Structure 1
């Protein structure tokens, strides 16, 4: 039903209600008007009966006046009143009201009474009024009395006829009132029925429909029983229900789509998080690739897979790890050119997706197809915008990689590339750290043991020469020197071993400094003091270890060269960190030491360690006045412990 245009007037509910009201009101007004008319007629008839009854009284009174009146004016007055009463009965008086029922019988009887009055009674009364002779007057009165009974009988007949007519009207009045009562009851019942049929019923059905819709019963529809406002409203309700149902279905579909998409995204995020968490761990490259491939195959539901690493120098691609692939295929493809086969081509061409091997060139041989795989997906392993390898996923059935899966796998390929590159950098860093430590060890050996061995070699040559010359005194002088040189070399080796084995047992630099100084006192017999200032945050363990190495090297130099009797170590840990080592030894010229740096390996070692800390290293020394060594680390270079 089209509700876009206004309903015709005859179909509107308001028109029906108005028409029904007008008809009911018209019938009611007609019934009331008829009862009022009957009441008015009854009232007028009753007044006519009273007036007609008064005619009888006036007739007898006129007879008495004719007999006993002393003046003619009394008779004339009575005649005038009698004429007036007859005139009222004849013509009626709407104001009183007073009128005779308008029936032919009553009109005929009234005319008869009027004739009897005019021809008999009035003539007799006038005859008695006009004569002055008592005898004639008496005769006129006698004649009046003789004509009076028939006249009165006519009046009585008129009254009886009026009473009969009024009795009929009274019956009609009662009948009309009864009908009016029943009409009121019938109208009330009809109005209630129409109200239920036109208003209450449709409203109830619409309310029930709305209640069902509020309970998610979107299939509810209202019957269109009439072409009125409620019919239009029911049609609009049904249209709205159709829209709501279609919108609900569309919303459900969208929710399902969004839920599916959200589940896919959650799966993608969880996969990315799981793989990224694994790749962030301290694993070797082969272990990284194996764990990566295993997790990807589980998530994507692949039956086989490989991870291949590119050898840029030779342009070869080597299988690092594999899973679900036969050993025969591994033997054939453990090393291929980067443009060979699909896995190698992906390194230069990008992502390779094969949904069905049968759709490819049937004249070209693919080892994956021979293995029984139906689909394959190959993605690049990228690090620093450089392709360093590829990983492949093999499927036994037809498999379509969605856009979300493709983005995920490309991202994971980048993560794997970063993890592999990080492990390579870590390996290079470890190699560089080992090289640096070996360099420091070589410098320490050169500074101590190499020089001692050179001294021992020289003494041995002198000893051999003394033995050839059989110079026992010279031999006796050389042997103590050899023993002293060997002991000094032994102490140097022991000190080097202690220095390179030093590790921070606890994250407390002060306690470690006190331990190192205590060892120095036991080895050299030189007294030492420690002063710790400041309440700043502790240094990071790797920085504490370098500070400890610099302190050990400084104390070693004091033991070897300073000939000091006291050493003072000061640590000032504020926002900046400062280490000061001072002795009261013989000192040296800093300028001369700088010019002969090859003879002062210990100083160069301390400077290199300070550079690794990004700290400032300085030495203040004057011959005969001791030496002060300072290490200052600014707060910008401090690492968080």
Structure 2
């Protein structure tokens, strides 16, 4: 997805979010679903509560019927208890129990539950039963309980039995009223349960319908619209039938469809535009890679500038160009290379002050682009405009944030430098500056290396040849004096000394020439060191051994050469001073590198070396080479026990080969 498409998608998303925040509460889908659920829940709970109430009332009425029915049995049981008194059953207890049942029927007992339906007829009939019991039946029973056995008791009992059927009828009438009332409540209970069933069915149907109307239908329409969009039917639109969330989504879908249709209409133009930009970027990258690859090569500064200018002019279709290097000491701008610029203009401007032209001003101002010289101040003289150039572009040559110079491009026609081209040329200017700086550093490094080698060569010549020639000069003077005096015996003594001095000087010169001509072949340090040891043994006749140990990585070529020079200098010192018959060379190449050269010669006192200081040129040369390696150099020697030199290069100072 492109940046524009992403931005438009974000705009549509923002519109959807904004619209969803302004939906009225009453029209929100969530509010309607919650309201419908709440109403259904309230109705269901009310119906269930009402059925529970009816069931509770029916249960209490059933218990009341049982208790009222038991009054009839208790009425006849009282007659039996009075007629046939028993110690187990007391008439008084039966009367008290009768009173308790009447009290329960009148007051009710929610814990059981037990209560009479509170209708007018039932309350009136209950009042009649209670009144008859308290005013007629109970006093007669109490009187019977007080009368002893006899005819009077029988007459009283007969009178009670005459009243009893009317009392039982009242009880039966109460029971009948309660039964009728409970039958009606049972009917209501069944009606409520039936209504609850139908209400559940209706609620389920209504819920399914509303879900389809509010959710399933809109989702299906949106899915159908998306399917058509995926089949490239870009003119599809969704109807906005509601103002809820799905209405907002339908509106957003329509906005998205409008955008997609608009993008599709301009897709070809966009593809062409993006393709052109991509081609320009590819061309820019190829130019950058090509010029960067050229600048990375081993070229002289003038060759670097010439190749750079030629490639830049081809890339920018420039008619002319120059590369100027800044002399910071004199603030002069020197033309290093040029192309397509008239020779007389180069002759006049081959060296100018940096403030006298636009190319020099760019060293301080940065990029200078002149689209048309004719639009500038005509009072000021521009050499480029006088030569017929219409446009000019000047860029800095930078290295480590320091301005080394500028390069300029001249155009005979009006030329606009785009932002991308300006960025590319600025980057290439930095690459050219880095390449120039690298070449300068390489030249300085070579100069420094040559200077060091010359210094070491001079020290070697001074230590050997100069001293030998001084000795020969002294012997020649003594020979001249002997010839003047015709002293043949002295001449005979001087002649062998002169011969020996000349031979020693010859050998010193030959050894120095061989040492300074030494080069490593294919970085084979072991082979070259073996050759040096073998040559030393042939020339001196001293038995010499060399032992290589370890499997470490090879040293870098520049470090190998310094190690070889140190070995040569050590063997040269053995030849000149040690008078040894055996020399052992041990090379250990592990993570650290060490070279140990030991002879069994005369040796020397370390105190004498300390007093001599820098006068011992051979040791000083080896120490200087060790310092260039950043290695540790040690000398161990005693008079009559030989000498050992030890060179140790730690792993942290090793260079990668």
Q: TM-score, normalised by structure 1?
A: 0.63
* Greater C-alpha Rg: 1
Structure 1 CA distance, aligned partners of 2:257 and 2:651? 72
**Backbone CA RMSD of aligned residues:** 2.8
Q: Please name the residue that 1:420 is paired with.
A: 436
Structure 1 residues without counterparts, runs of 5 or longer = 5-206, 225-234
CA displacement 1:248-306 (0-9 Å, x = unmatched): 24555554444333333322222222211111111111011101111111111111100
Q: Does 1:370 align with 2:386?
A: yes
Q: What is aligned with 2:362?
A: 346
Q: How does 1:49-448 map to 2 (within 5 A)?
A: 242-250=258-266, 252-448=268-464
Matched-pair contact (CA < 8 Å) for 1:467–1:475: yes
Q: Distance in 1 between matches of 2:232 and 2:357?
A: 59
What's the TM-score, normalizing by structure 2? 0.62
- Please give the secondary structure, in 2, of the residue aligned with 1:596: helix
Q: Is the counterpart of residue 527 in structure 1 residue 555 in structure 2? A: no
Structure 1 residues 288 and 217, CA, compared in 2 at 3 Å: closer, same or farther? farther
The aligned residue for residue 563 of structure 2 is 547
Aligned equivalent of 1:629, options 641, 645, 657: 645
**CA positional deviation for 1:581:** 0.2
Q: Distance in 1 between matches of 2:622 and 2:255?
A: 90
Asked if 1:577 corresponds to 2:577, the answer is no
| Structure 1 residue 244 displacement after superposition | 2.5
Secondary structure of 1:365 counterpart: coil
Cα distance, 1:599 vs structure 2: 2.9
Residue aligned with 2:388, SS: coil
Aligned counterparts of 2:655 and 2:254: Cα–Cα separation in 1: 73
Aligned equivalent of 2:492: 476
Alignment partner of 1:496 out of 490, 512, 518: 512
C-alpha separation in 1, matches of 2:353 and 2:426: 22
How far apart, in 2, do the equivalents of 1:327 and 1:620 lie?
69
C-alpha distance 249-614 of structure 1, shift in aligned 2 (>3 A): farther
Contact kept? 1:521, 1:528, Cα under 8 Å: yes
Instruction: Say yes or no: does 1:609 pair with 2:625.
Output: yes
Instruction: Tell me how far apart the structure 1 counterparts of residues 362 and 252 of structure 2 sit (CA, whole Å).
Output: 61
Query: Which residue does the alignment assign to 1:598?
Result: 614
SS of 2:393's equivalent in the other structure is strand
Deviation at 1:447, TM superposition (A): 0.8
Report the counterpart of residue 94 of structure 1 in structure 2. Answer: none
Q: State the secondary structure of the residue aligned to 1:397.
A: coil
Number of equivalent positions: 429
Structure 2 segments unaligned to the other structure (5+ residues): 1-18, 20-223, 240-250
- Quickly say closer, same or farther: Cα 1:445–1:246, change in 2 above 3 A: same
Correspondence for 1:453: 469
Cα distance in 1 between the residues matched to 2:491 and 2:470: 19
Q: Please say if residues 338 and 348 of structure 1, whose CA atoms lie closer than 8 Å, have aligned partners that are also in contact.
A: no
CA contact (8 A) 1:339 1:348 kept: no
Aligned to 1:580, the other structure's residue is in SS state strand
Matched residues in 2 for 1:312 and 1:507: separation?
A: 42
Question: Is the Cα–Cα contact under 8 Å of residues 567 and 584 in structure 1 kept in the other structure?
Answer: yes
Q: Distance in 1 between matches of 2:613 and 2:256?
A: 96
1:560 to 562, 576, 580: 576
Q: In structure 1, how many angstroms separate the alpha carbons of the residues matched to 2:522 and 2:339?
A: 45
Contact 1:580 1:629 (C-alpha < 8 Å) held by counterparts: yes
The DSSP-based 3-state class of the residue aligned with 1:418 is helix
1:210 deviates by 10
SS at match of 1:387: strand
1:442-467 per-position Cα deviation (integer Å, ceiling 9, x unaligned): 01001110110111111111111112
